[in-house]
């Protein structure tokens, strides 16, 4: 089993775990693709294949829109990025409030969150997605109960990879950075954790802007969130409740 050494990571004991959302807890790519293509169609622009959109995900909606326009090149030069962002947000909100939603939790997420909660750990989500949209998704998928804090991209002045969101979550949970760790799927998450002084664990199945998540310079990997509780126990940085 992978272990997370207390001495090497700077963690003495873990009291809180912070999670990224898209690509870590939830597979949102299908709904993001549908919403983006609806917004593009309204602008008279060609649709992008879901596999292409998946590579563009990361860093929040403004980054997604910027990468989309860059991908489309000269044909999208006259498009108002803010208008496209607004229409994407509208369509994505409609999808998330109706039965057509395809977003699902990754295997092991519900079990892992429940096990971490049972160990007495405080849990938070730190995402570049808007806070209210995040809460609605977690609630609809039955994952909200063990989550004590949600910090969205609109909750702070600086989004990940800046440290502000992670430090805000630690403050809301009343733990220090050395008492928390971050779980994510991208370089954005790793950089944010390093900047905030947190250890970081990565999952191998996320987006990471198309790059292999296993190449990330994190402290450890888990195949699923369900593997996180035994990793922490085996590493000796969290005690059995």
Please tell me the predicted confidence (pLDDT) of residue 76: 81
What Rg, from alpha-carbon coordinates, does the chain have?
A: 18
DSSP of 41-79, one letter per residue?
Answer: HHTTPPP--HHHHHHH--S-HHHHHHHHHHHHGGGGTT-
How high is the pLDDT of residue 4?
64
174-200 as b/e: b if 16+ CB within 10 A: ebebbbbbbbbbbbbbbbbbbbbebbb
Catalytic residues: 20
Residues in the chain: 241
Q: Name the CATH superfamily housing domain 29-96.
A: Putative phosphatase; domain 2 (1.10.150.240)
**Same fold yes or no, 6-28+105-234 and 29-96:** no
Q: What is the pLDDT along the chain (241 residues), one digit of tens a residue?
A: 466 654 344 556 899 999 999 999 999 999 999 999 999 999 999 999 999 999 999 888 999 999 999 999 987 878 899 999 999 999 999 998 887 899 999 999 999 999 999 999 999 999 999 999 999 999 999 999 999 999 999 999 999 999 999 999 999 999 999 999 999 999 999 999 999 999 999 999 988 777 888 889 999 999 999 999 999 999 988 866 5
Whether domain 6-28+105-234 has CATH 3.20.20.450: no
Q: For the chain, what are the domain ranges?
A: 6-28+105-234, 29-96
């Amino acid at each position: 089993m992978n272990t997370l050494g207390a001495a090497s990571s700077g963690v003495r004991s873990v009291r809180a775990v912070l999670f990224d959302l898209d690509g870590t807890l939830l597979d949102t790519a299908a709904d993001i693709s549908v919403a983006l293509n609806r917004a593009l169609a309204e602008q008279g622009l060609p649709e992008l294949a879901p596999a292409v959109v998946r590579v563009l995900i990361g860093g929040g909606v403004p980054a997604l829109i910027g990468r989309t326009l860059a991908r489309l090149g000269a044909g999208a030069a006259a498009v108002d990025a803010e208008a496209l962002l607004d229409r994407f947000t509208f369509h994505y909100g409609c999808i998330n409030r109706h039965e057509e939603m395809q977003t699902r939790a990754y295997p092991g997420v519900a079990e892992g969150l429940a096990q971490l909660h049972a160990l007495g750990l405080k849990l938070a989500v730190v995402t570049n997605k808007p806070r209210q949209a995040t809460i609605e998704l977690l609630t609809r998928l039955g994952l909200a109960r063990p989550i004590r804090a949600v910090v969205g991209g609109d909750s702070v002045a600086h989004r990940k990879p800046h440290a502000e969101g992670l430090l805000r979550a630690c403050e809301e949970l009343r733990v220090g950075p050395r008492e928390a760790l971050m779980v994510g799927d991208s370089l954005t998450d790793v950089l944010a954790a390093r900047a905030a002084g947190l250890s970081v664990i990565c999952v191998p199945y996320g987006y990471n802007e198309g790059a292999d998540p296993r190449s990330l310079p994190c402290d450890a990997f888990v195949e699923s969130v369900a593997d996180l509780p035994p990793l922490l126990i085996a590493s000796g940085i969290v005690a059995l409740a």
